[in-house]
Amino acid sequence: MKSDIDFITASDIENAYKRISVYTNTTPLLSSSTINHLTDAMISFKCENFQKAGAFKFRGATNAILKLKEKTDIRSVCTHSSGNHAQALALASKMHGYQSHIVMPQNAPRVKVNAVKSYEGNITFCEPTLQAREDTLNKIKEQTKAVVIHPYNNYDVIEGQATCFYESLQQSVQTPDYLVCPVGGGGLLSGSLLTAKYFSNQTKVIAAEPEMANDAWQSFRSKNLILSENPVTIADGLKTSLGSYTWPIIRDNVYDILTASEESIIKAMYFVWERMKIVIEPSAAVSLAVVLNYPEIFRGTNVWIIFSGGNVDLQKLPWQ
Amino acid sequence: MKSDIDFITASDIENAYKRISVYTNTTPLLSSSTINHLTDAMISFKCENFQKAGAFKFRGATNAILKLKEKTDIRSVCTHSSGNHAQALALASKMHGYQSHIVMPQNAPRVKVNAVKSYEGNITFCEPTLQAREDTLNKIKEQTKAVVIHPYNNYDVIEGQATCFYESLQQSVQTPDYLVCPVGGGGLLSGSLLTAKYFSNQTKVIAAEPEMANDAWQSFRSKNLILSENPVTIADGLKTSLGSYTWPIIRDNVYDILTASEESIIKAMYFVWERMKIVIEPSAAVSLAVVLNYPEIFRGTNVWIIFSGGNVDLQKLPWQ
């Protein structure tokens, strides 16, 4: 029987990178001497906050749409998302002549709604529950015949997210001792694990999760998939549960999952804005928070941290 | 008679760049497809917000200290500044084994005071008037025998600031039609004008100034140096008057000086944070505000904009 991880091969990732890198930004690997001094480690930050639509999600959405184009004549996609996947899918759709239908909860931040609109996404609002989101998406799907692109439980999306670490490896003569990557639904993490397995086998991949939404941590500790239940955290991109496609890859390959308190996430985010002069969102700050919280693990090593995105409402900053 | 501009030659600038570039960051020239679409121009941003100590001022301070080292055994410098020059001089001093004595007004932002302290600058507080600042500086100078490094009315400092545009020219195969640069005391502007004159003669250098602190604009229009009188503007780095060294260079070489309202400065700053995901300070946003305010000048041209710095108090943002 084919194991889960074999659904995506090394050449699948190489091909995904060839496919999407015409459209995606090659985001920089930056470092900060202040942070290196502070941690006594050599840290590089893969800055997906500079990715198109402001987050790594654009990689997966672009890969999913380009692969869809090879398979069917349908030129319409749909999803439910209140966050970065919505913007990413809307922009990727616009760039490739697709219609996008996005189901968003009524209470989605205005700034995210406006971004989807600016990319010509068709928004349908619904009650802010998972049930309402799924029911509304099913209705939209029936009406429009659009293809559902799930934000992470989709191998084409995972393959796209795998290109983030893959691209980093192309940019550097070194490979890291540790890759630290945030985990929400697990698309970026499972993609990164596959890239590590095929292209940088000695790299230990550590996932970073908010203490207040620690379902992946619980799942990994118990070796059973545990779903998150309405978690409350400033890291709004990391509230989702792992999926049936991402969980087995994570269970079998991640080196460890570490958590960060809300306070330490906000502190790390503030530090990056103030010292590195770049805008990252709370979900992106979780990885640095983990590195600062566990200095003994990372001291003297070469660490790469994925800054997953930079979409924040500048009117509502967490330190105000 | 030697004219003012001849005090700094082409090879002075080349040598300054060789001297300081071991210590300064080579800051990136970034672009944004959103801003290019919006303006119908090809715009590159020289990101001195990523410079050490968070602003271009570190170039001038480093050049001044390294030249001082060649001339005298005194290992102590002083200045009065409530802003980026204070931090820059403190850090450059620390890096080269100098003591720095910084006179700061009592009401200087805590975040700037803390930055100077973190670079081991010796701070003396005074009343927040120009007279008190100068009197206190004179006292410090007598007590410590430290050499005064003026923030802009100093040829070594101007020479250092000239390396910002010089470095940009090394980074690009093109030269710009326009360079847009903020003007406060005129150190960055006069340095940029000298670099343009020697190394990119067809580039028109336009200075950007807040409407609420338009002393350089008035001076240029009347061809007489007019001093600013307690201006009130969000662009706190641009409140100062031109100096006797910077004014003649500006008067004889700048293509034009354009102004921006407070509202347009805040809007440009917000836009950069939200879309480019980088932290710039209000003084840096003035140049982009000017380009957005005068689209007819820049349409279809190749424009470089200097983002002069990124030091802001994240607790007190202008859109709150």
Q: For the segment B213-261, what is each residue's pLDDT rounded down to a tens digit? A: 999 999 999 999 999 888 999 999 999 999 999 999 999 999 999 999 9
Whether B14 and B73 share a structural domain: no
The two structure tokens encoding residue A212: 């207040």
Whether A205 and A274 share a structural domain: yes
Task: Return the SS3 of A33.
Answer: helix
Whether A23 and A82 share a structural domain: no
Amino acid residing at A298 = F
Using a CB–CB cutoff of 8 Å, tell me whether B317 touches chain A.
yes
Burial class (CB in 10 A: 0-12, 13-18, 19+), B224: exposed
Mean pLDDT throughout A255-265? 98
What per-residue confidence (pLDDT) applies to A2?
A: 46
What per-residue confidence (pLDDT) applies to B49?
A: 97
Measured between alpha carbons, how far is B52 from B48 in angstroms, rounded to an integer?
A: 8
Percentage of chain B exceeding pLDDT 70: 98
pLDDT at B41 over 50: yes
Nearest to B273 among A274, A314, A319 (CB): A314
Angle between helices B155-171 and B57-71 (to 10 degrees): 120
Measured between alpha carbons, how far is A17 from A198 in angstroms, rounded to an integer?
A: 14
H or E segment to which residue B29 belongs:
strand B29-30
From the list B156, B155, B152, B213, the residue with the least C-alpha distance to B186 is B152
Residue with token string 């931090």: B87
Measured between alpha carbons, how far is A66 from B318 in angstroms, rounded to an integer?
A: 42
Question: Cβ distance A38 to A299 under 8 Å?
Answer: no
To the nearest whole angstrom, how far is the Cα of A60 from the nearest Cα of chain B? 21
What per-residue confidence (pLDDT) applies to B2?
A: 46
H or E segment to which residue A41 belongs:
none
- Domain-terminating residue out of A103, A118, A148: A148
Measured between alpha carbons, how far is B25 from B279 in angstroms, rounded to an integer?
A: 17
Mean pLDDT throughout B291-301? 98
To the nearest whole angstrom, how far is the Cα of A315 from the nearest Cα of chain B? 7
Collect all residues of chain B within an 8 Å Cβ-Cβ radius of residue A279.
273-274, 277-279
What per-residue confidence (pLDDT) applies to A112?
A: 86
The complex scores an ipTM of: 0.91
Whether B65 and B123 share a structural domain: yes
Collect all residues of chain B within an 8 Å Cβ-Cβ radius of residue A49.
277
Q: Give, as one character, the DSSP assignment of residue B22.
A: T
* pLDDT band at residue B286 under the 50/70/90 scheme: very high
Do B277 and A279 make contact, defined as CB atoms within 8 angstroms? yes
Q: Per residue in B8-34, pLDDT tens?
A: 999 999 999 999 999 999 999 999 999
Do A279 and B270 make contact, defined as CB atoms within 8 angstroms? no
Whether A241 and A158 share a structural domain: yes
- Domain-terminating residue out of A127, A148, A169: A148
* DSSP assignment string, A163-228: HHHHHHHHH-SS--SEEEEE-SSSHHHHHHHHHHHHH-TTPEEEEEEEGGG-HHHHHHHHTS----
Do B320 and A315 make contact, defined as CB atoms within 8 angstroms? yes
Whether A170 and A43 share a structural domain: yes
Do B277 and A310 make contact, defined as CB atoms within 8 angstroms? yes
Amino acid residing at B234 = I
Using a CB–CB cutoff of 8 Å, tell me whether B73 touches chain A.
no
Q: Is residue B319 part of a domain?
A: no
What per-residue confidence (pLDDT) applies to B268?
A: 98
> How many helices (DSSP H) and strands (DSSP E) are in chain A?
13, 10
Do B277 and A54 make contact, defined as CB atoms within 8 angstroms? yes
To the nearest whole angstrom, how far is the Cα of B94 from the nearest Cα of chain A? 15
Whether B163 and B136 share a structural domain: no
Q: For residue A131, what are the contacts with CB-CB under 8 A and spacing of at least 6? A: none
Do B277 and A50 make contact, defined as CB atoms within 8 angstroms? yes
pLDDT at B76 over 70: yes
Q: Give, as one character, the DSSP assignment of residue A244.
A: T
Measured between alpha carbons, how far is A264 from A257 in angstroms, rounded to an integer?
A: 16
pLDDT at A111 over 90: no
Closest alpha carbon within chain A to B311 = A274
Task: Return the SS3 of B311.
Answer: coil
To the nearest whole angstrom, how far is the Cα of A9 from the nearest Cα of chain B? 34
- The dihedral through the CA atoms of A180, A186, A192, A197 has a sign that is positive
* pLDDT band at residue B108 under the 50/70/90 scheme: confident
End-to-end CA distance of chain B: 53
Q: Is residue B258 part of a domain?
A: yes
The two structure tokens encoding residue B295: 């689209």
Measured between alpha carbons, how far is A49 from A45 in angstroms, rounded to an integer?
A: 10
What per-residue confidence (pLDDT) applies to A5?
A: 54
Whether A40 and A123 share a structural domain: no
Question: Cβ distance A175 to A21 under 8 Å?
Answer: no
Whether B40 and B168 share a structural domain: yes
* pLDDT band at residue B82 under the 50/70/90 scheme: confident
Using a CB–CB cutoff of 8 Å, tell me whether A273 touches chain B.
yes
Amino acid residing at A77 = V
Q: Is residue A319 part of a domain?
A: no
Collect all residues of chain A within an 8 Å Cβ-Cβ radius of residue B49.
277
Measured between alpha carbons, how far is B78 from B90 in angstroms, rounded to an integer?
A: 9
From the list A50, A39, A51, the residue with the least C-alpha distance to A303 is A39
* pLDDT band at residue B3 under the 50/70/90 scheme: low
Q: Is residue A312 part of a domain?
A: no
Q: Per residue in A112-142, pLDDT tens?
A: 899 999 999 999 999 988 889 899 999 999 9
- The dihedral through the CA atoms of B135, B137, B142, B147 has a sign that is negative
Q: Is residue B315 part of a domain?
A: no
Collect all residues of chain B within an 8 Å Cβ-Cβ radius of residue A317.
314, 317
Q: For residue A305, what are the contacts with CB-CB under 8 A and spacing of at least 6? A: A43, A44, A45, A46, A179, A180, A181, A287, A288, A291
The total of structural domains in chain A comes to: 2
Q: Per residue in A196-240, pLDDT tens?
A: 999 999 999 999 999 999 999 999 999 999 998 889 999 999 999
Output phi, psi for B56, to 5 deg: -55, -20
Confidence (pTM): 0.93
Using a CB–CB cutoff of 8 Å, tell me whether B280 touches chain A.
yes
Q: Is residue B269 part of a domain?
A: yes
Q: Is residue B320 part of a domain?
A: no
Using a CB–CB cutoff of 8 Å, tell me whether A1 touches chain B.
no
Nearest to A277 among B49, B317, B320 (CB): B49
Question: Cβ distance A239 to A228 under 8 Å?
Answer: yes
- Assign residue A100 the CATH number of its domain: 3.40.50.1100
Collect all residues of chain A within an 8 Å Cβ-Cβ radius of residue B317.
314, 317
Nearest to B319 among A277, A314, A319 (CB): A314
Low-confidence winner among A47-56, A188-197, B123-132 (lowest mean pLDDT): B123-132
Q: What is the separation of C-alpha B161 from the centre of its chain, rounded to a whole number of angstroms?
A: 7
- Strand-pair category, A29-30 with A42-47: antiparallel
Whether A47 and A65 share a structural domain: no
Question: Cβ distance A169 to A175 under 8 Å?
Answer: yes
Q: Is residue B317 part of a domain?
A: no
To the nearest whole angstrom, how far is the Cα of B222 from the nearest Cα of chain A? 38
Whether B224 and B95 share a structural domain: no
Output phi, psi for A17, to 5 deg: -65, -40
Measured between alpha carbons, how far is A108 from A166 in angstroms, rounded to an integer?
A: 32
pLDDT at A19 over 80: yes
To the nearest whole angstrom, how far is the Cα of B10 from the nearest Cα of chain A? 32
Q: Per residue in B146-165, pLDDT tens?
A: 999 999 999 999 999 999 99
If one counts every other C-beta atom within 10 angstroms of the C-beta of residue B267, the result is 19
Do B315 and A310 make contact, defined as CB atoms within 8 angstroms? no
Mean pLDDT throughout B127-137? 89
Do B280 and A278 make contact, defined as CB atoms within 8 angstroms? no
* pLDDT band at residue A1 under the 50/70/90 scheme: very low
Nearest to B270 among A54, A270, A314 (CB): A314
The boundaries of the domain holding residue B19 are 4-55+154-307
To the nearest whole angstrom, how far is the Cα of B274 from the nearest Cα of chain A? 7
Question: Cβ distance A35 to A43 under 8 Å?
Answer: yes
To the nearest whole angstrom, how far is the Cα of A204 from the nearest Cα of chain B? 29
- Domain-terminating residue out of B148, B172, B200: B148
Using a CB–CB cutoff of 8 Å, tell me whether A115 touches chain B.
no
Whether A186 and A115 share a structural domain: no
